Every structure is written in C-alpha cells, then in structure tokens.
Chain A
Amino acid sequence: MVKEEVVLVSFWSSPFGSRVKIALEEKGIHYEYKEEDLFNKSSYLSTINPVHNKVPVLIHNHRSICESLNIIEYIDEAWSDRSPQFLPSDPHQRSQARFWADFIDKQLYEASKKIYREKGEEQVNNGKKEVLRILKLVESELGEKAFFGGDNLGFVDISLIPFYSRFYTWETFGKFSIEEECPNLVAWAKRCMQKQSVANSLPDPLKIYDFIVSLNKYYHK
C-alpha cells in the first residue's frame, strides 16, 4: 500500500475545519494536524491556499484541496473504498444533500455572526430570527430520520454539526433556547455527539463562548 501523507491545516475554533476532522475520522484516515494562527497567518498558508488564504486546507500527497465541503467530497471520492460513504449513491439524493449543505454554507455562519458580533438589540434580534428560520428549515428536512444521511452520518450531518458547538454562544448572546424552538434538531445534535468522530472533533462550547467574547473586545475597539 502506498504511504499516504495527509495533513489538515486549520484553526481550533473553525466549524469548517471541524467538518474535515469528522470526515477524516469517520473514514479512519490517519493525518497530521497543523494549527494555523488566523491572527498571524503564516506564509505557509498562502502557499497552500493562494486563492483564499483561509483554513481548512487538506494536503494529500503534497496537493492541496480547499473549501470544506469540497474537501469532504474529495475525501469521499479519494477513499471511496472506505465506509461510510458521505454522499448517497442515488443522484437525486446526492443533489438534495449538496443543496442543503450549500444552503447551510451560504446562510448560517453569516446570520449567526449578527447575534454575537453586532451591537444593538435590533441587529441581535434580526440575527436570532434568521438563525431560527434556517435551523427550522433544516429541522423539517431532517424529519423523522435519525441523521440527514439516514442511519449514519452523511454529508449534511457533517456540514451542520460543527455549529452545535456554537449554540451556547448564540443562545447566551441572543437570550433564547434553541432546544425549545427546534427540539428535533437538538436531539439530532446529541445523537451526533455520541459518535467518537464528532465528540473528538468539536471544540468545547464554553471555550468557543470565551473566545468569541474576547474577539468582540478586539472587533469593537
């Protein structure tokens, strides 16, 4: 077997990086982790991701793959002989999974920043409304399934679950309870957390909260 060299460059709090960690662990792929300081970006990062200069970046046998959802598809295809398969085999179901992951990508992170980064009750409330709208839509897509992927973690599960670490932060800043508003979604999140790959890959919610509070001091200077 050819020795595979797999490196993940990311930042501990990045939900996008967590997605990749989960995917790698689910497939049982050994990798080296390199922490990048996002407040003091290395020249190394600009060589492996010259276009965006962002994390996460996966480096597989010296070639870089960027953008987290793209990386997960790559992992699924490059290690297609290993289960689980993140994307289903039926083309229509695959298109649905890609659609929802893309929806989450486009909307959730930006909307959530309004809750904790903005000053002013109106902006915070707008952020809260948007986040709940998105989570409720996603919750109804989940329906009665254990996971978006069916019986196991799939592409959409991996795309969404890292944001669970941020629920505490959103709830504290926005003064609301996500469990009250989206009980099925929180039940899903707790099911995901029982998986080793997820539990090992997600940062502690309180650590995230402290980090965001200190970041706000920096941004609101």
Chain B
Amino acid sequence: MAGDKVKLLGFWGSPFALRVEWALRLKGVEYEYVEEDLSNKSPMLLQYNPLYKKVPVLVHNGKPIMESLVIIEYIDETWKNRPLLPIDPFERATSRFWAKFVDDKFVPLIIKMSSSTREQKDKVAEEAREVLKTLESSLNQNKPFYGGKILGFMDIAVAWIGIWAPMLEKIIDIKLLDEEYMPLLNTWFRDVLEVLVIKECIPPLDKLLAHYKDYYDRFMATKSN
C-alpha cells in the first residue's frame, strides 16, 4: 500500500522478532528494521510497549502492535495478498492452537533447562522432547508444509525451533530434536528453513551460538555464586 510506514523494533537474536520478519517478507511488505539494545532499551520501545517493554513491536503508520503471534495475524489481515492463515475456520483454529501450544509449552521448558544439576537438565529435556513429539503429531506426512504446498502461519510461527533446538543441544549438552524419534518434525524444519525468504533472514548461526552460550554461561555463573 503506497505511503505505508512500517517499522519493526527487534533484536537480531530473538526468534520472535525473526518470525515477524518472515511474515513481512512473505507478504512482500517494505519495512524499516530497528535494532534494539535490550540492555539499554530505547525510549521508542518503552513508549510503544510500556506494559511488557519487549521486542518485537510492529509500528504501522505510528500505531504499535505487540506480541509476535498477534503481530503476524495483524500482518495477515492488513496485507491480504498471499494469505498465511487458511480460509476455513476450523483449520484456522487448528493453526492457532498449535502455534500457541509451542509458545506455552516449549518456551518455559527452555528457560527451565538452565537448571543447575545434570539430572534436572536431562529430566526437563525429556519433557521438551515429549512436547516436540506431540507437535509432530500435528503434521501431515503428505504435505511439505503445515500450510500445504506453501508456507503458512503455523510453519512460520514454529520453525524457529529448527534453529534454536540444535543450538541449545550444543550449549546445554542435551538431546531435543531426536531424528529417530521425530523424523517428520526434523524433515519439516529442514524444508521450512530451506525456503529462500526464510533462509535469507536467519542470523549467522555461529554468532547466535556464541551469543546464547555467553548468556547461558553468565547465568550459570550467577547461579553457583
């Protein structure tokens, strides 16, 4: 739409900002990306998201939208080309259900995984693997993507796990994306992350690994003090 001003406040290492970028790029929306220093949040971020003070925030013609899944739905409804959500209400409800399932169940486990003992970490990793196995049950073997032949809402809402899980496996020394236990899930993540529009905005994996390893090491150091 001519004269549209779209700004995305994000952090290069955030999976939630990344999935909003995927949505914008799939729709072909021109946007200005603003990198936030999360240790020194800008007045703009605090003004647009006073409640949570978090990224991502989408600002469209001066109006802010917060919470990444809410932002993606907003993008889908505002730019009607190339729909992300299916048309059928039941399929829409199912997509939303699975996207939320991952956010509600998997994310807290990742945070919990910074537990101090080896035993605790392994136990939480087991819970996380079961969550992923449940996610796999939502996939249809015959379709490359959850959206069918092309990427949809669910694919871009969840694909960040295909990047973050292998990274966490290295940092914490646990197993998450077991190829044997979850073959469909592994294939699905690989296929989604290969799509050019998706691939081209994934941050450099070595930089991501170094960032999260540093974050984890510092966190563990504070725990043992």
Residues of A within 8 A of B (CB): 51, 60, 63, 65-67, 70-71, 73-74, 77-78, 91-92, 94-95, 98-99, 102-103, 137
Known A-B contacts A51-B101, A91-B77; the reply to A102 vs B90 at CB < 8 A is no
Query: Would you call B71 an interface residue if the criterion is a C-beta within 8 Å of the partner chain's C-beta atoms?
Result: yes
B114 CB–A CB distance under 8 Å:
no
Output the least CB separation between B145 and chain A (Å): 21
A67, A92, A137: which contacts B97 (Cβ < 8 A)?
A67
Given the contacts A65-B90, A74-B89, A91 and B97 also touching, CB distance less than 8 Å: no
CB distance from B166 to the nearest CB of A (A): 24
Q: Is the CB of B71 within 8 A of A95?
A: yes
B51 and A95 contacting across the interface, CB-CB below 8 Å: no
Evaluate contact between A98 and B70: CB separation under 8 angstroms.
Answer: yes
Question: Can you list 21 contacts pairing A with B, beta carbon distance less than 8 Å?
Answer: A51-B97, A51-B101, A51-B134, A65-B90, A67-B97, A67-B100, A70-B96, A70-B100, A73-B93, A73-B96, A74-B89, A74-B90, A74-B92, A78-B90, A91-B77, A92-B60, A95-B71, A98-B67, A98-B73, A99-B70, A102-B67
What is the bound-complex CA distance between A77 and B89, given in angstroms?
6
Contacts of B100 in A (CB 8 A): 67, 70
A165, chain B: closest CB distance, angstroms = 24
Other A-B contacts than A70-B93, A73-B93, A98-B73, 12 sampled, CB-CB below 8 A, are: A51-B101, A65-B94, A66-B97, A67-B100, A70-B96, A74-B89, A77-B89, A91-B74, A92-B74, A98-B67, A98-B70, A99-B67
The digit string for B79-113, where 1 denotes a CB below 8 A from any CB of A, is 00000000001101110110011000000000000
Which chain B residue has the least Cβ–Cβ distance from A90?
A: B77
Q: In chain A, what residue has the closest Cβ to B79?
A: A91
- Whether A95 contacts B93 in the complex (CB less than 8 A), given A51-B101, A67-B100, A137-B51, comes out as no
Residue B78 lies at the interface, judged by CB distance under 8 Å to chain A: yes
Chain A residues near B74: list those with CB within 8 A. 91-92, 94-95
Provide the residues of chain A in CB contact with B78, threshold 8 Å. 91
Asked if A77 and B92 sit within 8 Å, CB to CB, the answer is: yes
Question: Is B65 in contact with chain A by the CB < 8 A criterion?
Answer: yes
Interface residue from A74, A77, A95, A103 paired with B73 (Cβ < 8 Å): A95
A63 partner residues in chain B, CB cutoff 8 A: 90
Q: A51-B134, A70-B97, A73-B96 are in contact. Are A99 and B90 (CB under 8 A)?
A: no
B77 near A94: Cβ-Cβ < 8 Å: yes
- Which residue, A91, A95, A98, has most C-beta atoms of chain B within 10 A? A95
A65–B88 Cα distance when bound, in Å, is 13
Asked whether A103 and B93 contact (CB < 8 A) given A70-B100, A94-B74, the answer is: no
Report if B192 contacts A (CB, 8 A): no
B55 within 8 A of A: no
A73 to B94, CA, bound (A): 11
Q: Which residues of A have CB within 8 Å of B73?
A: 94-95, 98
CA distance A94 to B65 in the complex (A): 10
- B24 proximal to A (CB < 8 A): no
Shortest CB distance B36–A (Å): 19
- Complex Cα distance, B93 from A39, in Å, reads 28
Report the minimal beta-carbon distance from B179 to chain A, rounded to whole angstroms. Answer: 23
Q: Which residues of A contact B93 (CB under 8 A)?
A: 65, 70-71, 73-74, 77
Tell which of A74, A77, A102 touches B70, judged by Cβ atoms closer than 8 Å.
Answer: A102
CA distance A102 to B99 in the complex (A): 14
Q: Using Cβ atoms and an 8 Å threshold, which residues of chain B touch A102? A: 67, 70
Cα of A87 to Cα of B94 in the assembled complex, Å: 18
Q: A74-B92, A91-B74 are in contact. Are A99 and B66 (CB under 8 A)?
A: yes
Q: Which residues of A contact B101 (CB under 8 A)?
A: 51
Q: A91 contacts which chain B residues (CB < 8 A)?
A: 74, 77-78
Inter-chain contacts of A94 with B (CB < 8 A): 73-74, 77
How far, in Å, is B172 (CB) from chain A's closest CB? 26
Residues in chain A near residue B143, CB distance under 8 A: none
Query: A91-B74, A102-B70 known; A78 and B89 CB under 8 Å?
Result: yes
Is the C-beta of B41 less than 8 angstroms from some C-beta in chain A? no
Expressed in whole angstroms, the Cα–Cα distance for A66 and B60 within the complex equals: 32
Contact partners of A95 in chain B: CB under 8 A: 65, 70-71, 73-74
